[in-house]
Chains A and B, each alone.
Chain A
């Protein structure tokens, strides 16, 4: 989940803050930067792969640091800030929107963090006015302007107030911030420091944000009795979607249970909700575990030990990755109640490969061509290996019972050309009678059947006339049976019987029939 930190650099952010007995004068901005650094430090420890960008805004906005994993470069950039005029949310939110869409498209989940001082501004461009305008746009009253919220991508919107919690102005502005978040409608919170403005209260506020939104996923990857602690990046999100009959809400389990394996070309390219790097995490998980107990110097020792041994202790993820890669297979993995995914080896453009988990849509029928996942059985249950004795067969794909229209000869006469093509086919066979007698009658009946279904009885007469004319045009060398069959077919088409869908037009039995049939 890449993060956009939008920092208010309006003049009001330079207001001084007196912290305790300290004589040194600090500005709100310094506190904000301290808060950002808290967040960045959290990333360094818990989610090194997180991308962050810093945007500065006042009446205008600019991107201070493009999306990067280099936390230090952000910290350095934050030390050189200038101040500008007043706070204005409209341009910065629109700016963030463009920025993110250009960089990540609309499918990547984001976190947008607005850091401001709880000053709502006055007049046009103030938060109150802006919200009023946006609401009228959403209600369809104003159509010439666009509202930057909700963002076209999935993003939580957080507002961090660098303000004293007992500031009377805050009680007016917090509901407005909440309205911003509601407009975006993807979640998020307004954060206010607990206690008077100070480095520690700001730090605690940002830590709260970090804990609620950037907690890494730790889980257990299990393959029968083979196990490994893993972490996933990015952490999987909750699934919540309204389906036809129910609201489906699911969270990923802490145990990723491998159920069995499939060949990569059998699963082919299934649709996936999201992809996650699977990284072995024994060390960190242990650490967490230890934190739960009371941490002492002893654990520090162990930490050092484990850090040194990290590379040398065999890890199941490495064994699994290597094998999946060489064999070109995927591991079907249960990630939650009625929710599955697949583990496979994925190589990025630099030819470096990693173990990847792709999550399917919840439900056992997420990949139609492998069928119901719950009905996948171990091959040992079969009396005959479904993959063949020499591994030369595959039980996949699972074929649907019906063929799709493009895979069968369906009749479409919306355009004249469709009808013409079908008529020509009959005429072509007619010209080659009696050799093509079987095909001739098959096509004839196919057209007739469609004509009856469409209630297109006019066509039966027309086709009769066409066949009669064809009969008159037969060359002298033609087989005598040809003329007999054409006349027979034409007569039948125009008869009463022709409109009865229960009947078929059968070839005329002639003296030649025995010679020609078969």
Chain B
């Protein structure tokens, strides 16, 4: 944060005839002919007027402010009764001010304008009473009657003072104007009274002249007005003064990046090292300045001769693959002191191209300490501060030791997709309106909708492991608005699963990893249906179309239950009374039991499962390979392909035994009446046990 009270600054340029005088600083502008055409005498150097030097240095002041604080730090330029720009953000740039100054033009020596500077100062006070956009917003948002918006400002006036008496006269004028305009402002709605004002008078004399007035430190003129007087010769002296002032006013510091390797203009094969001096907010070096002792040797007088101190940091040639983004405590905009110099523009262009440069603190011990980074974001260059001291975050506890650290089947790939779908982007202007919820609130709602049914681990879910089958239902159901096509797609997905069930296709149950087979398929389908219902039900309230999908799902699910044989029906009724959790528990028990079985038992069970659910199997040769047909689905090889084919051919040659064709299982049921008596007893038994 720059200093408080730098929100509004007004620069007053004295347009009196005095400023039409020469600044007395000679200026060479004709260098080309000297080098290339020896016969020609170069044009004589020209001099700038005092006015020109003032305008130029003020433009530099503005350039620094606008580069480092493009918003919230406002500067207006006033000359005479004319104002070059407004407080509005669109007017806060150098171009506007320059264009308007061109219209004003330089003062003329023969003009008689005695009280020009008083006029300018009065105008400045008047302008300060105008609220900025930010102040206006604050004022209108205030609900409390008592509250007021702070209105502070600074007036920088470049003028020529004739005597100490004139200084007192000017201070008096400003003080009077301030009180007068403030009381006027109290009465109107579109003006703000001034709480506090700082007046900076800069007495400018041509180079080599002796000033008649002396500098005065900051002193109080009235309770709401402080004043100070600076004396400066024109030309580069005034420039240095303005840079010093802008640094003081906005709490800036200077950094010199040293050792930037740069190709020579004349000789491209050799490179020399250059330095570039940058300005930025002091916070960037807060740690360095606070620690005091560590800063020795790092802080040297400015190499640009600005009369300020600068922190030297060494350029580190960037590696091509700097993926690691260091944690930064601050990031502040910079501006080069000499913006158009070759080293400066080389550095800035390099950074604007997207590369980042690390800066190293030269240490006597020789250890490498990277303390800052220069990088551009969106066409602006920032200096980032990287902490160099020990971190209290060192050696953090390992994730695997913490809560949930030993779970290995997180749905990370799915969550990555989830994150991508919940990415944010700056809203288009058409998406923002006062009376609607903010885009970020909408983003949170989107997150809420998409996470309503989101099991964290693979073993907790079936439906999210069978994406290829139920797509696009999980993607569509979370949408805020559905259209008819979406509903159709979802219904298709549901029908597809119905189809799967009727074909008795395996479900991707990975609860036991690669080895085991998991709970029985019938069980799996029931679990799957209940999961799917949970998912759809959670969204059913979103819109009537969502409800339609739920209705469809419930319809599809019901017939499945009623279609089952009496034995199954009883079982499912029995189960439905229980809660979902116990259902899962049951399947876990099944799995456990299954694991305890011998290989032989497992095979039988698998065969049993298969035959029971898919109706009668085709008759096949009992002799030969023990491997059932289904097994070959996993690891096919040439032999298995061949034997399967042969088996298939053979099986076609047999005629199915009528009893088996009618029966439900592999074996034809004999003595059916006896079986029916036993049914009740069996129903309570676990199914696996009954098969043994």
Chain A residues packing against B (C-beta within 8 Å): 1-2, 48-49, 51, 67, 98, 101, 103-108, 152-153, 223-226, 233-234, 241-245, 257-265, 268-273, 275, 277, 279-283, 310-324, 326-327, 329, 331-332, 334, 346, 348, 350, 352-356, 358, 368-382, 386-387, 391, 395-400, 402-407, 410, 412-421, 423-424, 427, 449-450, 452-459, 462, 465-466, 469, 473, 499, 501
Q: Is the CB of B29 within 8 A of A420?
A: yes
Residues of B within 8 A of A456 (CB): 48-49, 52, 106
Residues of A within 8 A of B415 (CB): 319-320, 322-323
Q: Which of B4, B63, B398, B431 contacts A377 (CB 8 A)?
A: B431
Q: Give the residues in chain B near A407, CB-CB below 8 Å.
A: 348, 352, 379-380
Q: Contacts A280-B403, A346-B327, A369-B377 given; indicate if A261 touches B424 (C-beta within 8 A).
A: yes
Residue contact A416 to B29, C-beta cutoff 8 Å: yes
Inter-chain CA distance A143–B336, complex, in Å, is 36
Structural contact, A224 and B448, CB atoms closer than 8 A: yes
Cross-chain contact of B443 among A378, A397, A499 (Cβ < 8 A)? A378
20 contacts between A and B (CB under 8 A): A51-B392, A225-B452, A243-B1, A271-B329, A279-B397, A312-B407, A315-B405, A318-B410, A323-B419, A374-B438, A375-B432, A380-B421, A382-B425, A391-B420, A404-B380, A407-B348, A417-B341, A419-B29, A424-B31, A459-B46
Known interface pairs A105-B387, A260-B440, A454-B56; 14 further A-B residue pairs with C-beta atoms within 8 A, sorted by A's residue number = A226-B456, A269-B327, A269-B375, A270-B328, A275-B327, A281-B403, A311-B405, A329-B423, A369-B377, A376-B443, A397-B377, A453-B59, A453-B101, A459-B46
What is the bound-complex CA distance between A279 and B412, given in angstroms? Answer: 19
Would A261 and B48 count as touching, CB distance under 8 A? no
What mask results when residues 364 to 380 of chain B are scored 1 for a CB within 8 Å of chain A, else 0?
Answer: 00000000010101111
> Is B439 a contact of A375 with CB atoms below 8 Å?
yes
A270, A459, A499: the one within 8 Å of B29 (CB): A459
How long is the Cα–Cα vector from A374 to B444 in the complex, in angstroms? 11
Q: Is the CB of A245 within 8 A of B138?
A: yes
Q: Report chain B residues within 8 Å CB of A386.
A: 425-426
Residue contact B94 to A371, C-beta cutoff 8 Å: no
Residues on B with C-beta less than 8 A from A153 are 290
B40 CB contacts on chain A under 8 angstroms: 469, 473
Q: Is the CB of A106 within 8 A of B424?
A: no
Partner of A455, one of B55, B335, B377: B55
Q: CA separation between A152 and B288, bound complex, in Å?
A: 11
**9 smallest A-B Cβ distances: which pairs?**
A315-B404, A455-B106, A105-B389, A224-B451, A397-B378, A377-B439, A311-B406, A369-B377, A280-B403
In the complex the two chains form, what is the Cα distance from A427 to B42 in whole Å? 14
Residues of A within 8 A of B46 (CB): 458-459, 462
Interface centre among B47, B345, B446 (most CB of A within 10 A): B446
Q: Which residue of A lies closest to B405 (CB)?
A: A311
Cross-chain contact B335 with A260 (CB below 8 angstroms): no
For window 3-62 of B, CB contacts with A under 8 Å fall at 4-7, 27-33, 37, 40, 43, 46-49, 51-52, 55-57, 59-60
A418 to B27 CA separation, bound complex (whole angstroms): 11
* B273 CB, nearest partner CB in chain A, Å: 19
Query: A427 to B421, Cβ gap below 8 A?
Result: no
CB atoms of B424 and A378 under 8 A apart: yes
Does A420 lie within 8 Å of B426, measured CB to CB? no
Contacts known (A348-B394, A406-B344, A424-B32); A269 close to B326, Cβ less than 8 A = yes
* Partner-binding segment picked from B65-73, B197-205, B602-610, B672-680: B65-73
Would you give the 0/1 interface string for B436-477, flagging 1 where the beta carbon is closer than 8 Å to chain A? 001110111011111110101100100000000000000000
Is there an interface contact between B404 and A103, defined as CB atoms closer than 8 Å? Answer: no
The answer to whether the Cβ of B598 comes within 8 Å of any Cβ in the partner chain is no
Contacting residues, chain A, for B450 (C-beta < 8 A): 224
Complex-state Cα separation, A226 to B418, whole angstroms: 12
Chain A CB within 8 A of B150 CB: yes
Interface residue B390 (Cβ < 8 Å from any Cβ of A): yes
Contact flag A454-B4 (CB < 8 Å), given A106-B291, A375-B427: no
Closest to B240 in A: A414
Give the residue name and chain of the B residue nearest to A257 (CB): B444
CA distance A72 to B344 in the complex (A): 56
Residues of B within 8 A of A265 (CB): 325
Most chain B C-beta atoms within 10 Å of own C-beta, residue among A326, A418, A453, A458: A453
Contact B102 A379 (CB under 8 A): no
CA distance in complex: A469, B37 (Å):
12
- Do A414 and B377 have beta carbons less than 8 Å apart? no
Give Cα A449–Cα B102 distance, bound, in whole angstroms.
8
B30/A466 in contact, CB under 8 A: yes
Are B442 and A318 in contact, CB atoms less than 8 angstroms apart? no
Counting contact residues on chain B (CB < 8 A from A), the size range is 35 or more
A329 touching B52 by the CB < 8 A rule? no
Q: Is the CB of B30 within 8 A of A376?
A: no
Q: Looking at chain A's contact residues, is the secondary structure mostly helix, strand, loop, or mixed?
A: mixed
Asked if A311 contacts B403 (CB within 8 A), the reply is yes
Q: Would you call B330 an interface residue if the criterion is a C-beta within 8 Å of the partner chain's C-beta atoms?
A: yes
Cross-chain contact B375 with A268 (CB below 8 angstroms): yes
Q: With the chains together, A73 CA to B287 CA distance in Å?
A: 31
CB–CB B27/A419 < 8 A: yes
Q: Shortest Cβ distance from A339 into chain B, in angstroms?
A: 13
Contact B290 A152 (CB under 8 A): yes
Asked if residues A269 and B27 are in contact (CB atoms below 8 Å), the reply is no
Which one of A317, A352, A454, A456 has the highest number of Cβ atoms from chain B below 10 Å of its Cβ?
A: A454
Q: Are B328 and A452 in contact (CB under 8 A)?
A: no
Cα distance A98–B290 in the bound complex, in angstroms = 11
Give the shortest distance, in Å, between B6 (CB) and chain A (any CB).
8
B388 within 8 A of A: yes
> Is there an interface contact between B392 and A104, defined as CB atoms closer than 8 Å?
yes
Q: Are A317 and B403 in contact (CB under 8 A)?
A: yes
Chain B 94-108 near chain A by CB (<8 Å), digits 1 or 0: 100011011111110
**Are B399 and A350 in contact (CB-based, < 8 A)?**
no
B121 within 8 A of A: no
* Of B389, B398, B454, the contact of A107 (CB 8 Å cutoff): B389
Chain A residue numbers with a CB within 8 Å of B410 are 314, 318-319, 322
Whether B348 lies near A406 (C-beta < 8 A) is yes
Q: Which residues of B contact A418 (CB under 8 A)?
A: 340
Decide: A410 and B431 in contact? CB cutoff 8 A: no
Q: How far, in angstroms, from A378 to B422 measured CA to CA in the complex?
A: 6
Q: Mark out the residues of chain B between 127 and 163 whose CB falls within 8 Å of any chain A CB in the assembled complex.
A: 134-135, 138, 149-150
Instruction: With CB as the reference atom, state the residue of chain B lying closest to A461.
Output: B46
- In the complex, which residues of chain A have a beta carbon less than 8 angstroms from the beta carbon of B49? 455-456, 458
Is there an interface contact between B7 and A269, defined as CB atoms closer than 8 Å? no
Residues in B neighbouring A269, C-beta threshold 8 A: 325-328, 331, 373, 375, 384
* Cα distance, A263 to B340, chains bound together (Å): 35
Decide: A406 and B424 in contact? CB cutoff 8 A. no
Cβ-defined contact, B30 with A323, below 8 A: no
| Contacting pair A314 B423 (CB below 8 A) | no
Distance of A310 Cα from B404 Cα, bound (Å)? 6
Chain A CB within 8 A of B624 CB:
no
Residues in chain A near residue B31, CB distance under 8 A: 420, 424
| Contact (Cβ within 8 A) A260 B43 | no
Contact of A353 among B330, B399, B451 (CB under 8 A): B399
Q: Is residue B492 contacting chain A, with contact meaning CB distance below 8 A?
A: no
Q: Which residues of B contact A348 (CB under 8 A)?
A: 393-396
B286-311 residues with Cβ-Cβ distance < 8 A to A are 286-287, 290-294
Whether B425 lies near A455 (C-beta < 8 A) is no
- CB neighbours (8 Å) of B66 from chain A are 402, 404-405
* A465 lies within 8 A of B43 (CB): yes
Report the nearest B residue to A283, measured CB to CB: B403
Known contacts A310-B403, A397-B378; A262/B426 CB under 8 A: no
B400 is an interface residue with CB less than 8 A from chain A: yes
B432 to chain A minimum Cβ distance, whole angstroms, is: 6
B338 at interface, CB cutoff 8 A: yes
Residues of B within 8 A of A370 (CB): 426
Say yes or no: A379-B424 contact (C-beta < 8 A), given A271-B330, A399-B379, A404-B335.
Answer: yes
Specify which chain B residues have a CB less than 8 angstroms from the CB of A424 in the assembled complex: 31-32
CB distance from B245 to the nearest CB of A (A): 15
